[in-house]
Structure 1
Amino acid sequence: MTVQFGAVTIDWFGLGSLRLEGQTGAVIYIDPGPTDYGILEDRAPNDGDLILVTHDDHYDPAAIQRVAHENAIVVVHESIDATAIDRPVDQPEELPYEVERVGDDESFVLGPLDLFTTPAYNDPTGPHTNAEGRPYHPEGTGCGFGVTIDGVTAFWPGDTDALAFHEGLEIDLFMPPIGGTYTMDRHEAADLAAAIAPDLVLPVHYDTFDEITADADAFVVDVARRGVPVVLEM
């Protein structure tokens, strides 16, 4: 099922992999990889104008090349380093596209699109840490992306906890992770959705593998009871 919100069509492929298309024709992919879990396995449209990658875990040149057309722009977080990834991949600058690196607190314009980035990380004193007590996503190693397309401001916060500054964001479409373990869970995401009060919530980053299994139906009920519109992409 594809979700239609205003002038924007949204598809979710698993993990944080999203496709946004406006009525004016702009096509944006967010975190199209990795392909390890079958993400985009049967999809090779090469129709992406803009590819956004939040951090190392979601950086996969094969996935980018599957969705990007030859004149695409690829925007990646400044921390992404192919030598630190546990699979053989090229550095972003080696890809056959215009590549831009961004920090985690920037605003910029690309053609008709307004974009911004936000910090994305796990609080080292919070619940989303490994067996050694270290955050799965330390501060400075990733970002979230917001993009305004045909009047709709959509926001994917990345692999992150629910952070205090999120509550002050003015966005129309909120696409939070709800799988827990490595990110906020469905309860934390529901609290954040209620605080932001967007026009629509579309949960992602759940059920792709066991560690991020979540009860999406319960999330929908929780958010809807708070008076916030919510939908599932099945």
Structure 2
Amino acid sequence: MTVRFGAVAVDWLGYATVRLEGETGAVVYTDPGRYGVLDGYDARDGDLVLVTHDDHYDPEGIRRVAHDDALVLVHEAVDAADIDRVDEQPADLPFEVERVREDESFVLGPLDLFTTPAYNEPDGPYTREDGTPYHPEGEGCGYGVIIDGVCAFWPGDTDALPVHEGLDVDLFLPPIGGSFTMDRRDAAALAGRMAPGLVLPIHYDTFPALETDADAFVVDVANRGVPVVLDEP
């Protein structure tokens, strides 16, 4: 279903792929593709495509969502040479591609955009058996985009970080699957501290390691006095 928040229509298409459309017509996609979430989807209507890190870099997915004149933002650490499943570098995509770092801000026509750090803490709960993080610091980012007055924030594959708590966010799109990112309990606690206008969780139930109790997340967030909704793909 489509969730509406203010002037923005939101669709979670699966995994980390979200489509945002403002009343003025701007269309933004986050991390399009992988695991079949865009099978049969070929909209090619995206003005702006945001790629957080190498796990979510999918050239075919980008082609399915971006129109010919789209701008594709890709974190600077993404390198196809380090990704077994793809061999096409971001610079070789048939779109305008810009590399971004964490903690940047931009004005892109009618859209304001910012990036945030995204990583797992070493020796934290979302690490390999040897304590190394699945997502090391400096290899990815989160994105906030202000579209028709609504600030939508996708933090990427990350722990809940202190930097998140100071953000002024209207629509919060947290990962809740755990294993490689914050889990539903971390995300609910973070939502309580951030106090956004609406929480819509993503990045869960795509495969077994991301299975979680989304209904329990809803109850947890609602008990903190924060509006929350599910959009099952």
Shorter-chain TM range is over 0.9
Per-residue deviation, 1:93: 0.4
Rounded to whole Å, the distance in 2 between the matches of 1:9 and 1:19 is: 8
8 A contact 1:144–1:157 mirrored in 2: yes
- Which residue is equivalent to 1:2? 2
Rounded to whole Å, the distance in 2 between the matches of 1:127 and 1:76 is: 27
**Correspondence 1:19 to 2:22:** no
- Which residue is equivalent to 1:166? 164
TM-score for both structures, normalised by structure 1? 0.98
8 A contact 1:24–1:150 mirrored in 2: yes
**Correspondence 1:211 to 2:209:** yes
Matches within 5 A, 1:57-206: 57-206=55-204
Regions of 4+ moved over 4 Å: none
Rounded to whole Å, the distance in 2 between the matches of 1:170 and 1:48 is: 25
When the two chains are superposed, the root-mean-square deviation of aligned CA atoms in Å is 0.7
Per-residue deviation, 1:139: 0.2
Q: State the SS of the aligned residue for 2:112.
A: strand
**1:35-72 deviation line (CA, Å, top 9, x unaligned):** xx111112101101110000000001100011111000
Rounded to whole Å, the distance in 1 between the matches of 2:131 and 2:43 is: 41
Output the amino acid matched with 2:12.
W
Per-residue deviation, 1:15: 1.4
Unaligned runs of 5+ in 2: none
Deviates more, 1:127-136 or 1:75-84: 127-136
8 A contact 1:61–1:89 mirrored in 2: no
8 A contact 2:58–2:86 mirrored in 1: no
Rounded to whole Å, the distance in 1 between the matches of 2:13 and 2:125 is: 27
8 A contact 1:154–1:172 mirrored in 2: yes
TM-score for both structures, normalised by structure 2? 0.98
Rounded to whole Å, the distance in 2 between the matches of 1:95 and 1:190 is: 37
**1:169-203 deviation line (CA, Å, top 9, x unaligned):** 10100000000000000000000000000000000
The alignment of Structure 1 onto Structure 2 pairs a total of residues equal to 232
Per-residue deviation, 1:132: 2.1
Unaligned runs of 5+ in 1: none
Output the amino acid matched with 1:86.
D
8 A contact 2:124–2:131 mirrored in 1: no
Rounded to whole Å, the distance in 2 between the matches of 1:87 and 1:226 is: 41
Output the amino acid matched with 2:99.
R
Rounded to whole Å, the distance in 1 between the matches of 2:48 and 2:143 is: 12
8 A contact 1:27–1:50 mirrored in 2: yes
- Which residue is equivalent to 1:28? 28
Rounded to whole Å, the distance in 2 between the matches of 1:88 and 1:186 is: 30
Identity %: 69
Per-residue deviation, 1:2: 1.0
8 A contact 2:179–2:210 mirrored in 1: yes
8 A contact 1:15–1:206 mirrored in 2: yes
